Amino acid sequence: MPNRKVSRRGLLAGAVGIPLAPAAIRGDMPWREGAADAPSLPRSGAGYLFFSSAEAAFIEAAVARLIPADELGPGAKEAGVAWFIDRQLAGRFGRGERWYMQGPWGPGLPTQGYQTRLSPAGVYRAAIRSIDGVVAREGRAGSFAKLQTADQDAFLKRLESGQVHLDGVETKTFFDMLLQNTIEGFWSDPIYGGNRGMVGWKLIGFPGARYDHSAFVARHGERYPLPPVGLAGRPEWTRS
């Protein structure tokens, strides 16, 4: 039975070859069962979908320096950030699907923002290849991942300040994206694969995807008593 609330009306009923007027909504607030716009979850599985093994070695090493494991607790690597970035790059974000990607391309000023022809996935691919090439030419190790951690930190600082030239991609564009995506993977909801065990949220005291703080708004200066919860609940809820 057709839905009375979302009708598709023919302009000239019965006429052949005349296009229909688009769907008109009238008479009520439309609602359909089972149509909730739930988040699109990353493909599961332990392996990488986007990164090659060389790229994965870089990304695991780099995120472990950007947010290191230390006396305060796990870092980005332990939080699953490399896997998070892999799934982001394998998906809509990696393709720059919502971005305006038509030419022509100009170098642009810093105030004009992102101006490369590459999608985010392309930026990562070009940058990692170039970085490992620079490291190998400098001779301390065959690739970034094989550097000592102190040398990795020093190299990341050179990337951050633009002292390393990369082929085909602006150093700042890549470094800013890598750092931003690392932070996203550390603090986004665990449904996207990072922030495993909510370690990012626990580190700072963020209670997660809770939707009612009304009992606490006027309790000034008190420690918030509840543990973090994600959109899919808490690990304790589903532990057998």
Ranges within 182-221 binding another protein (CB under 8 A): 182-184, 187-189, 192, 200-201, 203-214, 216-218, 220-221
- In three-state secondary structure terms, 6 is strand
Q: Does 36 bind another protein (CB under 8 A)?
A: yes
Q: In this structure, which amino acid lies at residue 94?
A: G
Q: Identify which of residues 105 and 142 has a Cβ nearer to another protein in the complex.
A: 105
Q: How far is the CB of 69 from another protein (least distance, A)?
A: 9
Radius of gyration of the chain (CA): 24
Residue 60 in contact with another protein, rule: CB under 8 A? no
93 binds another protein (CB under 8 A): yes
> Which of the residues 63 through 92 are near another protein (CB under 8 A)?
65-68, 70, 72, 75, 92
> Could you tell me how many residues make up the chain?
240
Among 3, 10, 27, 226, binds another protein (CB under 8 A): 27
**Closest alpha carbon to 169 in 119, 110, 96:** 119
**CB closer to another protein out of 167 and 204:** 204
Asked if 226 touches another protein (CB under 8 A), the answer is no
Among 1, 2, 53, 102, binds another protein (CB under 8 A): 102
Q: Is 94 in the site for another protein (CB under 8 A)?
A: no
User: Considering the rule CB under 8 A, would residue 224 count as an interface residue with another protein?
Assistant: yes
Closer by beta carbon to another protein, 37 or else 139: 37
User: According to the binding rule CB under 8 A, does residue 148 interact with another protein?
Assistant: no
Measured CA to CA, the distance from residue 67 to residue 126 in angstroms comes to 23
Question: What is the C-alpha to C-alpha distance for residues 201 and 237, in angstroms, rounded to an integer?
Answer: 18
Considering only residues 105 through 124, tell me which ones interact with another protein, judged by CB under 8 A.
106, 108-115
Could you tell me which of 35, 38, 31 has the C-alpha nearest to residue 5? 31
Sign of the torsion formed by the C-alpha atoms of 84, 89, 90 and 93: positive
DSSP 80: T
Asked if 223 touches another protein (CB under 8 A), the answer is yes
| Helices (H), ranges, the chain | 53-66, 81-90, 92-95, 120-138, 149-160, 171-187, 199-204, 235-238
Copy the structure tokens of residue 143: 């690739």
Q: How far is the CB of 46 from another protein (least distance, A)?
A: 21
